[in-house]
Amino acid sequence: MTDLIKEAGFKAADYNIPDNLMNIYKVKDRTYGIPVNMYVTLMLYNKDMFDEAKIPYPPSDYEDKSWTFDKMVADAKKMTIVSDDIAKTQYGVDFTWSERDMRPLYFGAEPYSEDTWTNGGVPSATHFDSPEVMAAYNKQFGLILKDKVAPTTEWSKSVAGQNGDPFVSGKIGMYVGGSWGLAGSNDFPFKIGVAAVPSGGNDKVRSTLFVDPLLILKDSKHPKEAFEWIKYLVTTDVQEKSIELSGGNPPVNSVAAEAYYKHFQGIDPEDIRKVYEGGVKYGFESYNHLITNYSQINDMFINEMQPIENGTKTVEEVMPTIQKKVTEIIKR
């Protein structure tokens, strides 16, 4: 889209699009997409469960040094009740954060080589069987298998269905995942708040960014008209309307974002602003937007990690197979 941008004199600042978000879809000074929506990773928490357990609400400020992964686990233990009666069972945290292959990054481990981000999404090396990556997975899966403060996949399906959100059931104290969890929250049957993702060992990354772009196919018969449509969709007025019409899609336009912060009932707009600004500051774009053959990689991770998630195999048993299969998929 570089030539179209130059010809039209398009400037991201004229549409209140931050440069760092525009740069996500630039490779070697060539622009391949214009951002339209911007999701971050955040924490949603059930105020009713926090009140019942007499726990102070978690902070929305990313600079609050007291808010750590270990503190989150400690709070989660106070809210977790495991019972043979599913109606009485509740968990302190559901820690999704990102797709499975990206989760080690939160703990400071790099599963893909650094050249991945400048090489068209093709890593020269992967490290899924490294001690650092396996330690990260053990910490994440430990929420389910060791600390038992997070739900199993089977329990989540039992309260929310195959692809539902167990947080909506009112039986999860804290949800760490994409900010699409806010959409529809005005209709939740319990009070909610938003908080920063706790620090987990990576000083630079605590949030996965899901910045959705608009693209133009290289063989398009009407590229100029398509570009005019894209420009229209990122104007302040249209971005503000999309918030209301969608139930809460987060705009990439920073002026329209002011309306987004105020959209959710019962949540302090300043808290939403803080988790968004912090999420961007400590964010890294989702691997599923950056890595080649990603859908195949993601499907493989879902299948191969099931034995870890259900407790029948260890991380150390599974990761060598995943490392081998990732390498094969990338070479296709």
- For position 27, what pLDDT does the model report? 81
pLDDT given at position 16 = 94
Collapsing DSSP states into helix, strand and coil, what is residue 114? helix
CA distances from 119 to 20, 26, 124, 125 (A): 19, 12, 9, 12
Backbone φ and ψ of 283, nearest 5°: -105, 155
Q: Yes or no: say if 132 and 104 are a contact pair by the CB < 8 Å rule.
A: yes
Please report the pLDDT score of residue 132 as a whole number: 98
pLDDT of res. 160: 79
Between CA 144 and CA 80 the distance in angstroms is: 11
Q: Give the burial class of 11: count Cβ atoms within 10 A of its Cβ; 0-12 exposed, 13-18 middle, 19 or more buried.
A: exposed
Q: Which two tokens stand for residue 228?
A: 């005019």
Predicted confidence (pLDDT) per residue in 156-202, tens digit: 988 877 677 899 999 999 999 999 988 888 889 999 999 999 999 99
Cα 285 to Cα 130: distance, rounded to the nearest angstrom: 23
CB atoms within 10 A of CB 29: 6
pLDDT reported for residue 153: 87
pTM for the structure as a whole: 0.91
* pLDDT the model gives residue 190: 95
- Residues in the chain with pLDDT values less than 70: 162
Cα(125)–Cα(156) distance, rounded to whole angstroms?
34
Three-state DSSP class for residue 250: coil
Q: What per-residue confidence (pLDDT) applies to 15?
A: 95
* pLDDT value of position 24: 87
The CATH number of the structural domain formed by 41-208+287-330 is: 3.40.190.10
Q: What is the pLDDT of residues 263-290, one digit of tens each?
A: 998 999 999 999 999 999 999 999 998 9
